[in-house]
Structure 1
């Protein structure tokens, strides 16, 4: 298609007749953006010499959307995962702390995709606001929790709200020129400064030095939740119907949501993760029916979800036509699944490693995590904003995945005695995740038609968070199984070497564990204890944990290799990082908007 010099391509104009049962007598003429069907053509043909200057309202809308992640992610996930052991100890239950992370990950994985469908019906604005409300409700449940399971329930609600809020990733990309889509990095800046940059330090300090302790993580989240929701309501005004479908009422579209696929996916993932989480724990051996049955049932249920969606569903949760865009989209799902599996699981595991292998001083644990947080700012914020100018999006993904894979494996070479190496490797291993994720969102946004952007962004979030759920279950199961075997064996060897009785050994094991977390006088109850035995038991405990962590680090390598292989297949859309802007807000913009013109119609 060619255009005269200076002529700006327009979207397709479609006359749409409203259903006759409505009282309205209008025939709207809707101008649909070129991106709706062909984002590649739109990026090249509607490419002005200079990118549009963003209005203050647009910038404030982007900032409000960015800060909406502080409540569900920075406070509801990052801060709390840095002190999981301490929280579990305070509530008297460390066995179920895995579900604080697992519940959040499962819920966000489920809500990501359904949010994409809801935003197509109700528009991005009110969908995001509903997510912000849910995140605040979950924070209220969490900050008032008296048990670990109640806290996990609150975390689950927060995660569900988080998945809905992630619709704004599509919303931000729509509002800015293609080459500025790295402004998604502002969301990472909001989430990381100072929360991820010093998250563990902030969390441990709050827990140790305030009357309400860890509950302040959720109080702070509530404050940000209220402010970001107000900003969203005041400044963010995208088109009300992103699908531009005026033939159907919203109620008709709600009825067509794939509830069966939603239930199959939710049930299958939850049952599968229950089996993985139980595996290797007390009373649940890997070969037991309580482990095998839920894993098998979960896998079959997930398979049924995809079969149903690919064959029978009218508005599928996982649409086959989108999955057929293998190089443009589907391989991105594998990449974010692996990146999420590594990042989300290690967000909770690394502070535990610092506690059990290096120090029980909460401030020192926070200091150890500082390189991790600083990397989140640099990789996820500053580097992301510059991604459009750097280009070579596919190459950036490959490099970041290699960095993540290599440095996670490299942890095994520095535990349990090289603290400097443990800190340094966190900078690279954890920092790469933010840039990997946002690169995948931008690549999808440039390759996927606008009519599927909300759904595509939701699926990326679903697989990223689903990967976090699976990784959390797999890596925690490996860690728990190995350390439960190694700790008694190694401490028993200490007892035998010092001629201790079996009764003394029975007391030495729990005393060593209490000493590791900083309980004063933990060894006093052990008969015949000496400083030499205390030191030997502490070393045995540390080395048992190091042995278990090494197995976890090595287990991450196949995941990384798989992701790198998929990244090589990505169709690089860097040529579409142009000055093109997909849509404009319906309020506060001087630019031409997609218009709906009404003409009177008389019935015969």
Structure 2
């Protein structure tokens, strides 16, 4: 028994040595170009399809959720049909990513696709909002596992093509991510919102068949039995993390919209969830030998912690802008639904375009300067968005495109960088933590921005509207009704207000636009401040270009265990440069033989 315990501890110590090696110490000799197995092609197509499926259900539904509520509602909780998907991604993905590093990713992909198909079937037959929320909860579990594609596609191509591989995922999703708002409105007008789920079902089924047939990667721990693998799972930490983050995000989702930030309905879940997450962190550091999220990852400031912080400060403005940009378009420039969809495209499409441009990261040296450039682009145009007024439509579209390009570049580039900052046997967990941080930041950003917007509008609009309309002859007893109609966007009833004239309507419209323009300014000021933080953090990240070589982390050749611990990545290490690595390999071979 003592021998087995010692062996397990040695395995964990070896894992930490591998995972905590700095990028600067991982200088590789030239590695021959690997010959990719033909299975890479159908597996890549399956990854593309699965990514498109979740973009279809999430992005398209987000753009038409009010139409869905009108069809099978109305229900005041209709936005939870979207929120449950984001919570599912934030909670499930890092757990699934960590477990997939231990058990392999094949069955996580297949289980995730099954959840997605079942959730979509329930959703496309839903006749009420509560049923749709339940369906999207099931779908959210599958969607979380779809995110594993970011790790899965990275390891089946040589390191030098990792940026291209991740960029390709962004590129193929353009019809659903970049053109999502416009496509969604076309579907509603010509077909039915249920077709969003019909399309997702078809795509997911094809992806399932392709992965079931062709995706048979070697298992990470071929030398351990299923019972031994199960013993490696930190179930207590898993429960603490899942429960804590879920409760915390529920509180955040209520803040600023349904309840005020100071209400018990918001503070109670946020405090309780935060306490559970704190307990999870303490447990992971001091309470378990097999942590779900290895603490040594957070000790690498340049490779991991700074990148996580960049993700947080960049995701708050990004997720918020995707929510509030259509509102800004409708408030300042047009109320035509088709035009709103078209004017939203520069932002949504540019985030996809920026992600595709990440393929160029391989040719930049050092890569931390590349990241600084991306952060600068996003920061500058976030600030410029604060200057927009009612007559600046062309500027608005141009600024939104360049802002979105910077954010898209930054979002995908940090995935590439964080994946190279650890050994490949932690690829799932680091990518999962990054995506979870994006979800947390997005939820916080939307709540904070919503509070700022409503507060500033409530302060500015009454005074500005009164100054514009009362001198033109609007009766004082008609002013409260005018104010209420503008606040609730009930513009069609404004001409019926007693004492209303064409001149007063025109003045009220301009006053409303100016107030909205003022209300949006602090949102972009906050985004620019976060951008400056991202610029500084980006400078203090690793230059990962030395790792962008011919090394292949996972070979899909049948019965060829090339993954992680079982081979030396298709090449032999130089004894001089890799004395530490060789020592680890020898210890590992001894340990595995003992097991």
Is the 1:281–1:480 Cα contact (8 Å) retained in structure 2?
A: no
What is the TM-score normalised by the length of structure 2? 0.83
Is the 1:121–1:254 Cα contact (8 Å) retained in structure 2?
A: no
Structure 1 position 70 matched with structure 2 position 52 = yes
Distance in 2 (alpha carbons) for counterparts of 1:60 and 1:469: 35
Distance in 1 (alpha carbons) for counterparts of 2:266 and 2:527: 22
Alpha-carbon shift at residue 424 of structure 1 (Å): 1.0
Match of 1:223 in 2: 202
Is the 1:43–1:580 Cα contact (8 Å) retained in structure 2?
A: no
How many pairs align? 552
| 1:587-602 equivalences in 2 (<5 Å) | 587=558
Alpha-carbon shift at residue 581 of structure 1 (Å): 1.4
Is the 1:512–1:541 Cα contact (8 Å) retained in structure 2?
A: yes
> 1:279 and 1:113, CA in 2 relative to 1: closer, same or farther beyond 3 A?
closer
| 1:419-568 equivalences in 2 (<5 Å) | 419-488=393-462, 490-494=464-468, 496-501=470-475, 504-512=478-486, 516=489, 521-568=492-539
Structure 1 position 199 matched with structure 2 position 180 = yes
> 1:390 and 1:562, CA in 2 relative to 1: closer, same or farther beyond 3 A?
closer
Structure 1 position 180 matched with structure 2 position 151 = no
Alpha-carbon shift at residue 479 of structure 1 (Å): 2.2
Distance in 1 (alpha carbons) for counterparts of 2:253 and 2:99: 31
Is the 1:116–1:458 Cα contact (8 Å) retained in structure 2?
A: yes
Structure 1 position 264 matched with structure 2 position 240 = yes
Alpha-carbon shift at residue 216 of structure 1 (Å): 3.0
Alpha-carbon shift at residue 191 of structure 1 (Å): 1.5
> 1:445 and 1:509, CA in 2 relative to 1: closer, same or farther beyond 3 A?
same
Distance in 1 (alpha carbons) for counterparts of 2:130 and 2:385: 31
Alpha-carbon shift at residue 256 of structure 1 (Å): 4.5
Distance in 2 (alpha carbons) for counterparts of 1:368 and 1:235: 41
Is the 1:405–1:557 Cα contact (8 Å) retained in structure 2?
A: yes
Alpha-carbon shift at residue 97 of structure 1 (Å): 5.5
Distance in 2 (alpha carbons) for counterparts of 1:581 and 1:302: 35
Alpha-carbon shift at residue 386 of structure 1 (Å): 2.9
Distance in 2 (alpha carbons) for counterparts of 1:340 and 1:546: 23
Question: Which segment drifts farther, 252-261 or 461-470?
Answer: 252-261
Distance in 2 (alpha carbons) for counterparts of 1:344 and 1:396: 22
Structure 1 position 48 matched with structure 2 position 31 = yes
Distance in 2 (alpha carbons) for counterparts of 1:95 and 1:480: 18
Structure 1 position 170 matched with structure 2 position 151 = yes
Match of 2:290 in 1: 315
Is the 2:123–2:132 Cα contact (8 Å) retained in structure 1?
A: yes
Distance in 1 (alpha carbons) for counterparts of 2:290 and 2:562: 34
> 1:490 and 1:140, CA in 2 relative to 1: closer, same or farther beyond 3 A?
farther
What is the TM-score normalised by the length of structure 1? 0.82
Alpha-carbon shift at residue 164 of structure 1 (Å): 1.4
Q: 1:487-517, CA deviations, whole angstroms, 9 ceiling, x for partnerless residues?
A: 4554455553444456533433454457x57
Is the 1:373–1:431 Cα contact (8 Å) retained in structure 2?
A: no
Is the 1:163–1:461 Cα contact (8 Å) retained in structure 2?
A: no
Q: 1:442-477, CA deviations, whole angstroms, 9 ceiling, x for partnerless residues?
A: 222222112212212211222122222222222223
Question: Which segment drifts farther, 125-134 or 151-160?
Answer: 151-160
Is the 2:475–2:499 Cα contact (8 Å) retained in structure 1?
A: no
Match of 2:385 in 1: 411
> 1:555 and 1:215, CA in 2 relative to 1: closer, same or farther beyond 3 A?
farther
Q: 1:524-544, CA deviations, whole angstroms, 9 ceiling, x for partnerless residues?
A: 542332222222222233233
Structure 1 position 379 matched with structure 2 position 360 = no
Distance in 1 (alpha carbons) for counterparts of 2:238 and 2:451: 27
Match of 2:571 in 1: none
Match of 1:23 in 2: none
Question: Which segment drifts farther, 524-533 or 332-341?
Answer: 524-533
**SS state at 2:386 partner:** helix
Distance in 1 (alpha carbons) for counterparts of 2:256 and 2:315: 23
Alpha-carbon shift at residue 145 of structure 1 (Å): 4.3
Distance in 2 (alpha carbons) for counterparts of 1:188 and 1:412: 28
> 1:315 and 1:590, CA in 2 relative to 1: closer, same or farther beyond 3 A?
closer
> 1:281 and 1:174, CA in 2 relative to 1: closer, same or farther beyond 3 A?
closer
Match of 1:22 in 2: none
Distance in 1 (alpha carbons) for counterparts of 2:444 and 2:131: 22
Alpha-carbon shift at residue 223 of structure 1 (Å): 2.4
Match of 2:190 in 1: 210
Is the 1:416–1:543 Cα contact (8 Å) retained in structure 2?
A: yes
Question: Which segment drifts farther, 87-96 or 162-171?
Answer: 87-96
Alpha-carbon shift at residue 287 of structure 1 (Å): 4.0
Distance in 1 (alpha carbons) for counterparts of 2:504 and 2:123: 41
Which residue of 310, 318, 324 corresponds with 1:335?
A: 310
**SS state at 1:195 partner:** helix
Alpha-carbon shift at residue 35 of structure 1 (Å): 8.0
Distance in 1 (alpha carbons) for counterparts of 2:561 and 2:341: 47
> 1:397 and 1:45, CA in 2 relative to 1: closer, same or farther beyond 3 A?
closer
**SS state at 1:69 partner:** helix
> 1:128 and 1:485, CA in 2 relative to 1: closer, same or farther beyond 3 A?
farther
Is the 1:71–1:136 Cα contact (8 Å) retained in structure 2?
A: no
Structure 1 gaps of 5+ residues are 1-15, 18-31, 596-604
Q: 1:308-355, CA deviations, whole angstroms, 9 ceiling, x for partnerless residues?
A: 222113432332122122222221111112222222222121112212
Is the 2:312–2:437 Cα contact (8 Å) retained in structure 1?
A: yes
Structure 1 position 367 matched with structure 2 position 342 = yes
Which structure carries more helix by proportion?
2
> 1:159 and 1:474, CA in 2 relative to 1: closer, same or farther beyond 3 A?
farther
Root-mean-square deviation (Å): 3.4
Alpha-carbon shift at residue 180 of structure 1 (Å): 0.9
Q: 1:124-177, CA deviations, whole angstroms, 9 ceiling, x for partnerless residues?
A: 111112222223333334444455555444444433322212222222222111
